Structure 1
Amino acid sequence: MADDLNSVFKSGAEVEISSNDNGFRGAWYAGTIIKSKNTKTKQQLIQVEYKTLMSDESGTKPLRETLNVVQLRPLPPREKRDRDFKFSEEVDAYYNDGWWEGVITGVLPGNRYSVFFRATREQLEFSGSELRLHREWFYGNWVPPLEQEAEATISIELNICDNNKFIKGATVEVCSDEDGFYGAWFTAMILEHLSNGSFKIEYKSLRNDDDTAFLTEVVDTNHIRPCPPKEKIEHFRLFEEVDALYNDGWWVGVVSKVLSRQRYEVFFRGTNEEIVFKQGDLRRHLERINGKWLSSSVVCNSIRNSNSR
């Protein structure tokens, strides 16, 4: 794995960089690798230079930072032709010098689209040229792959995928944009489907301020999803993306060290923390893309099997 990373993240390579700074989380910025080094704790640190972020007020000196390798990824692939985006499709929008993950909420005339950003609850309008299909980088492969490679992808179908399936009493997961909770998914039960399309929910682990009952809240469709399918995982691998059960919610992180006795050190990009977890407090990270659950290992196994034929 280290050799693979060294070949991808070598000096001079163009990459995209995620930031942990307030106001920049959730975005990817273009940059170039200056150099890399291994620390005494076997962390791989990479010095990068941003292409669009500057360190001086005059805007002439590119910002340089030394980051953990898990905050980097190669440049995402580009489609070979222009594409039309669809309602509810997950995209990245170029905004404020970086690429921000959002959801198409409106297809407008003139190749323009309304995009909703979960991180800020903003809805902004973009041209098609300012958007790209949202992809995740897993084990050296992009999910979803380029359209001509789509047949190589294996997906886990949703058990619940439509709003009318979110019925009263159903168990779901809810994300929050509040400080200290952003990036986590919390288990909840639907109490009511409101007339405006939103849902009244009751959390199963979060309680109200006076600790007399479980917290209730009204959330919109952009902040609710079915519970991921349950899986039995024998072990997790280095640099695998996982969800960790922490502070009553599931937080996405990366396995930064495999310890003995099914214990793992997990790195969280949002807080720049590393915390040790037991096997039972982790689950494989799944992305819900276009109504399907997609997992890194499933896609990689598919690609490996097709290459071995």
Structure 2
Amino acid sequence: MNERRKLLLHEKVEVRQLEEGLGGSWHPGIVIGVSESCRKVRYDELLCDTGKSKLIESIPVTGAIEGLYQRPFVKSNYRGRIRPRPPSPEHFDVKTSLSFGVCVDVLFKEAWWEGVIFDYNEGGDERCVFFPDEGDERKFKLTDIRATLEWDEFSGHWRERGVWTLVSLAKEHKKEGHIFQLVKRIWSRLKVHYGFMKMISEWTCGAYCLW
């Protein structure tokens, strides 16, 4: 048995949904089946079409999750589909404050949705969050927000995603004023541009040289 293999039987995981309306949302579940390059997951809350039982889905996994002994080449725009449950704040020392542009996860409808802090209200009990996958924004209680952590499928380590690259670039060109509108306007055009789809494709890509 490969001891480097990850996400094994009975492990609690989160799976990122790809369907329209659920883009960027990570849903909790448990691994109930393990096969080569695949994990069968039963979701905690998502139901099957009949609505009478929990949804079970087979999720393809990478060679890194399967326990490769050499780190594979990973494109800078890679975005994982399945991961362990992220560590709690008690077990991971988050250095990033929830300032404008920081990538966060928001607890909404029993799933964690990837978004970006979109205000300067750092002392408030609520924060405005923009969701690039779906293109909408709304306010959430601070207790339902956590800093986004990315999982390295090869090493198994976690790291903070930090500030959205598009926000960092916008700040370089516009120090004051309506930066919120600028970022949203650029993103609405960029996400459907052929060059973006070919070179970057995912808003979570952190490679400055590609942007």
TM-score, length of structure 2 as denominator length: 0.66
Q: Tell me the number of residue pairs that the alignment of Structure 1 and Structure 2 aligns.
A: 174
Task: Please give the per-residue CA displacement for 1:194-217, whole angstroms capped at 9, x wherever unaligned.
Answer: x74455xxxxxxxxxxxxxxxxxx
Match in the other structure for 1:55:
48
Question: Could you list the runs of 5+ residues in structure 1 that have no partner in the other structure?
Answer: 39-43, 146-154, 168-192, 200-217, 226-244, 254-284, 294-309
Match in the other structure for 1:166:
173
TM-score, length of structure 1 as denominator length: 0.47
Residue 221 to residue 127, structure 1, CA distance change in 2 (3 Å): farther
Match in the other structure for 1:23:
21
Match in the other structure for 1:266:
none
Shift of 1:88: 2.2
Residue 17 to residue 162, structure 1, CA distance change in 2 (3 Å): closer
Query: Equivalent residue of 2:137, what SS?
Result: strand
Query: Equivalent residue of 1:50, what SS?
Result: strand
* Cα RMSD after superposing both structures: 3.8
Identity %: 22
Matches of 1:129 and 1:247, distance apart in 2: 34
Alignment of 1:152-301 (within 5 A): 161=168, 163=170, 165-166=172-173, 196-197=178-179, 198=181, 220=185, 249-251=198-200, 287=206
Q: Which has the larger radius of gyration?
A: 1
- In terms of fraction of residues, the more strand-rich structure is 1
Residue 220 to residue 111, structure 1, CA distance change in 2 (3 Å): same
Residue 219 to residue 11, structure 1, CA distance change in 2 (3 Å): closer
Alignment of 1:33 with 2:31, yes or no, is: yes
Task: Please give the per-residue CA displacement for 1:66-88, whole angstroms capped at 9, x wherever unaligned.
Answer: 11025211111111299963232
Match in the other structure for 1:73:
83
Matches of 2:59 and 2:112, distance apart in 1: 19
Higher relative contact order (Cα pairs below 8 Å, separated by 6+ residues): 2
2:157 to 141, 156, 179: 141
Alignment of 1:115 with 2:107, yes or no, is: no
Shift of 1:223: 6.3
Match in the other structure for 1:170:
none
